[in-house]
Amino acid sequence: MILAALVGVALGLLGGGGSILTVPIFTLVLGTGTREAIVSSLFVVAITSVVSTAFRVRRREVLWRVAAVFAATGLLGGVAGGMVGRFFPEPVLTGLFAAIMIVTAIAMMRRRREPTEPRQTRPITRAIRTVATGLDVGVLTGALGAGGGFLIVPALTFLGLPIAAAVGTSLLVIAMIPGDG
């Protein structure tokens, strides 16, 4: 129960990480197989994301259009990634999952240089970048079966969203597509 509460706090606070915490708890603590742990984590992540999204909506930290585009393209990418992912053995999936976690953590810890002037991009350019990023995250999530949430927040910050909006928008995406948690 304590571990479950910690997962809920992490997901609500960070906008991701539900699966990267829940899957190891199911596999290492409860002794389930990786695939069973991934499926079981969907329920936990879905419920937590819905509740956390409600709080973020009240704080106006959810960008609805970005979430809709990201969720739709992530879903398409997830289907493609799922078709590819089932051909990988479990140890390979586990290794990829761990490697992506490390790379994402390093990318988020790097200091970002603030531009002297806000970068202006055309709406079509922003839309194309959002679609491409959503597809990329979806493919990775579908192939691995989990991990979208911890990829969505860095991806949204890469697209230029402030961290609070990235967290709130990520929670909505995860609530719409629980497999992305």
- pLDDT value, residue 66: 93
Domain hosting 154: range is: 2-180
Q: Given phi > 0 = left and psi -120 to 50 = alpha, else beta, which region is 120?
A: beta
93, two tokens: 């999936």
More confident residue, 177 or 163: 163
Q: 115-158 pLDDT, tens per residue?
A: 444 456 678 888 899 999 999 988 888 887 666 777 888 889 88
Q: Look up the pTM and report it.
A: 0.77
Give how many domains the chain has, as a whole number. 1
Mean pLDDT of 64-70: 92
Q: What's the maximum distance between 2 C-alpha atoms anywhere in the chain?
A: 52
Count of H-run helices and E-run strands, the chain: 8, 0
How does the average pLDDT of the chain come out, rounded?
82
